Amino acid sequence: MIDQFINFVIRPPRADYNPEQYLWEKEFTLAGRQFKRQDLELTNARGHKLRCSHYLPSPFPEETPLPCVIYCHGNSGCRADANEAAVILLPSNITVFTLDFSGSGLSDGDYVSLGWHERDDLKIVVSYLRSERQISRIGLWGRSMGAVTSLLYGAEDPSIAGMVLDSAFSNLFDLMMELVDVYKIRLPKFTVKMAVQYMRRVIQKKAKFDIMDLNCLKVAPKTFIPALFGHASEDKFIQPHHSDLIFKSYAGDKNVIKFDGDHNSSRPQFYYDSVSIFFFNVLRPPQISSACSSKLEKYYDLGDLKVGAGMDESLLYEIITGIETESTNVPSSSSAAPRVLMTKPVSELVSEVAPLARLDPMLTRNIRPDSDEQSNSQDKPNGQSDECCSYTSSNRESWGRCSSLGGSDEESSADCTAANNGNQEKKKQKKQKKRDSTTPKPKHEKLEKLEALSKRLRLCILKRVSHRRQGST
């Protein structure tokens, strides 16, 4: 049982993950802007390789250094925990650097030290960023073990612009004493302190640090970096009073936020908003250029259509423009082509194009060479064409086709009715003439009647289409 508790402190479950699946992509779009993930390896003082990732704008602005926030994960975490930080900070021109601490994730090392050795890993990262001329100010964002790491390092480096400390513990010895009760480790009360002393020696031998030295209350009074504390009110692993103790003894500008949830629950949106405002104030990132801001406005003006993830918005506009242009090129269509307003959301353009796209097949079927009409009419009984059937039939499908052409116009509907009545009269006349004479009629008379019928139908269709186009424009 004691050995399990020791492993719980220095060898918790280790995150084993695929960076291509759990990190942001090498090239990605966020809030209408392009960003990239730059992977690298750093070596700490103990010779362990640290796997790191830096999220940057693509391309990086020339001669304009940007601030950076280093995200420090918890004892069982990894650099994938910084994905939410990237979403919050990158749109504000704040780059995000994240790493797997030694003994965590894909980095080298066998044990974690809950902040003691991780402080040295953080020092290596800060030195690397200082050597890069692209980075201006540096901030720290830590959670649990990462919060303690940030606080321990911040006491040594006053050049850090600001820190967000989420669920930090005051000192490790008191935390271990509390965890014995929380997790109901079956030990007699008089032997608890003896057991902790035993664990202290084992941890010192394996992980090379003394749990009695890991005390944030010793460094908080000597730290003057602006800090934002956060803690979940139902946290049973690191109870909220730990942050209260650090907050009271902290010497710098400070603020604290309490929220619902436990140690590992997702943080509420108002907490992320507070973090974003805090880093914006202490890091003072450069303002986004007017060109970028206009692109952002166009991006957010796209309505409910999600085109940010890998879809080319200009290509979408070209497709929509092509559909409308193609629809106006059909013979006998309106000569005034509808204009595509580039200021409209894509969702509205799609809704406008939809009825036109449905209309084009009808036009191409109804307006055909006279030879096609002759062949089709000869195949039909009583000289009736497909178009005539579709408009005079009482079934729902053909009525839907007719009403889709704009049946609300009274004048056009009257013309259609007149054309239909004329068609019925012609049918009666044809039947009567067939009964009176058995000799076949000349072929040119049939053609003339079919042409007259097609002209009337064409007139009906064009009036409805013209009314539809005028209403839409």
- DSSP 3-state of 452: helix
Contact 165, 143 (CB under 8 A): no
**pLDDT of the chain, 473 residues: tens digit per residue:** 788 889 889 999 999 999 999 999 999 999 999 999 999 999 999 999 999 999 999 999 888 999 999 999 999 999 999 999 999 999 999 999 999 999 999 999 999 999 999 999 999 999 999 998 899 999 999 999 999 999 999 999 999 999 999 999 999 999 988 887 776 666 676 777 788 889 999 999 999 999 999 999 999 999 999 999 999 999 999 999 999 999 999 999 999 999 999 999 999 999 999 999 999 999 999 987 655 555 444 443 444 433 333 444 444 444 434 434 443 443 333 333 333 333 344 344 334 434 444 444 444 444 444 444 444 444 444 444 443 333 333 333 333 333 333 344 444 444 444 445 555 555 556 556 555 554 555 556 666 766 676 666 666 666 655 555 455 54
Instruction: Say how far apart CA 458 and CA 442 lie, in whole Å.
Output: 25
Residue 266 corresponds to which tokens in the numbers above?
């997702």
Give residue limits of the domains in the chain: 2-290, 313-364, 368-472
> Would you tell me which CATH number, out of the four given (3.40.50.1820, 3.30.365.10, 3.40.50.720, 3.90.380.10), belongs to the domain 2-290?
3.40.50.1820
Instruction: Say how far apart CA 248 and CA 199 lie, in whole Å.
Output: 30
Backbone dihedral region of 30: left (phi > 0), alpha (psi from -120 to 50 degrees) or beta? beta
pTM for the complete prediction? 0.63
Considering just the CA atoms, what is the radius of gyration of the chain in Å?
37
Instruction: Say how far apart CA 250 and CA 255 lie, in whole Å.
Output: 10
